[in-house]
Amino acid sequence: MPIIVTGAAGFIGAKLVEKLLTNDEKVIGIDNINSYYEKSLKLDRIKNIEKIKKGNWDFYKESICDDIFLNKLFINKSPKIVVNLAAQAGVRYSLENPESYIQNNLLGFSNLIECCKKYSVSNFIYASSSSVYGGNKSLPFDENASVNHPISLYAATKRANELIAHTYSHLYKLPTTGLRFFTVYGPWGRPDMAPMIFAKSILCEKPIQVFNYGDMERDFTYIDDIVEALFRCCYKPAIPDINFDAINPSPSTSDAPYRVFNIGNSSPIKLLDFINTLEKSLGKKAILEFKQLQPGDVKKTASDIKKLNEWIGFIPKTSIIDGIDNFCKWFKNYYGYY
């Protein structure tokens, strides 16, 4: 049975597809190749995928907002595992273009999970985000913490995905697993994220905007570690928690087949230290331009990953030094900085 991966031309999606194909799975990729960032990067990721096992790979340049397309696909292909990595990403962009988040992250998600229910999918995995923790101050973030105070529309849509998933797990016994990603980085990353923005600015000798005057921490997590966890979750559908206490309910489990996990490195790094590591790997000093905190930004993130470790044995293996070095080598080669 084929595995559907949405957002297959995206940073995480493309890498997961490569992993699945390398392990002899048949994969159906869906991506609308939108213009949120450069299309050429997305198309090059697809070219990388096609070099692996083209016979086990089908790709559809479509949107999950198109429920007619999705229904036809599920009828014709009968997938049993669906991984939803399609979404409108970015916290700051949600301030400028909220409609895109409503369409892709709510309507698209609802279309997809409805098809999973209708066509008896046995495992639905979807991308949530560390941003759901909003203004929480208690670190590291634990899945049992309150996530009812999002500070961006992006975060609100991701929390809504978790709630919709629980409803489908409860009503229709659909196994759903939500993964709260913490700042993913590495080769083939997104141009709108800090590593790409900073690396380009350093190499072009342009100022880096450092928000909150540098008082920021992020739980940077290397792409290969993220994909390994996703891969393992594909083969372990959520099950009801036999110890679920309905009087004192856990937000991350249920008496339905529903789970939510943090997926991070569990070793947050200060933003200025991250920039310093980039400088060493690139061999150039950064020009820093300190700015106040932007609306929607979270000052610090740190993941508690004990639950994911207990579930699938997840232990991140890539140090920040090795991860940034791998990223910088790819960045200079791909964009022609010699």
**DSSP character at residue 212:** G
HSE on the CB side for 112, CA within 13 Å? Answer: 33
Domain assignment of residue 163, yes or no = yes
What CA–CA distance (Å, rounded) separates 292 from 306? Answer: 34
Report residue 61 as tokens. Answer: 């340049």
Cβ contacts of 146-154, under 8 Å, gap ≥ 24: 146/251, 147/251, 151/296, 151/298, 152/91, 152/94, 152/95, 152/295, 152/296, 153/94, 153/95, 153/98, 153/101, 154/88, 154/89, 154/90, 154/91, 154/93, 154/94, 154/101, 154/105, 154/129, 154/296
Number of domains comprising the chain: 1
Is residue 140 one of the residues assigned to a domain? yes
- Give 184-198 pLDDT, tens digit per residue: 999 999 999 999 999
Q: What is the pLDDT of residue 54?
A: 67
Backbone angles phi, psi at 258, to 5 degrees: -140, 130
Name the helix (H) or strand (E) containing 82: strand 81-84
Is the CA virtual torsion 18, 21, 25, 30 positive or negative?
A: positive
Q: Containing domain of residue 80, as a range?
A: 3-181+222-265+303-317
Provide the token pair at 216.
Answer: 């920021």
pLDDT at 298: 79
Of 37, 101, 126, 154, which is the active-site residue?
A: 154
CATH of the domain at 307: 3.40.50.720
Q: Give residue-wise pLDDT tens across range 290-303.
A: 999 888 787 889 99
Model confidence pLDDT, tens digit, residues 168-177: 999 999 999 9
Quote the percentage of the chain above a pLDDT of 90.
87
Q: Which of 174, 163, 170 is nearest to 125 (CA)?
A: 174
Give a yes or no: residue 37 inside a domain. Answer: yes
Q: Is residue 211 part of a domain?
A: no
Q: Which long-range contacts (CB under 8 A, 24 or more apart) does 45-49 make?
A: 45/9, 45/10, 45/11, 45/14, 45/188, 46/8, 46/9, 46/14, 48/14, 48/18, 48/188, 49/8, 49/14, 49/17, 49/18, 49/21
Arithmetic mean of pLDDT over the chain: 95
What would the pLDDT profile of 215-264 be if each residue is shown by its tens digit? 899 999 999 999 999 999 999 999 999 999 999 999 999 999 999 999 99
The answer to whether residue 330 is domain-embedded is no
**Domain contains 281:** no
List C-alpha distances in Å: 137 to 72, 146, 227, 249, 297: 45, 11, 28, 22, 13
Decide if 154 is catalytic. yes
pLDDT digits (tens, 9 = 90+) for 104-142: 999 999 999 999 999 999 999 999 999 999 988 888 999
Contact 7, 82 (CB under 8 A): no
32 occurs within a structural domain: yes
Q: Which of 46-60, 191-205, 322-336 has the lowest mean pLDDT?
A: 46-60
Residue 18 lies in a domain: yes
pLDDT of residue 93: 84
pLDDT digits over 54-98, tens only?
Answer: 689 999 999 999 999 999 999 999 999 999 999 998 888 888 889
Lookup: tokens for 232: 């393992």
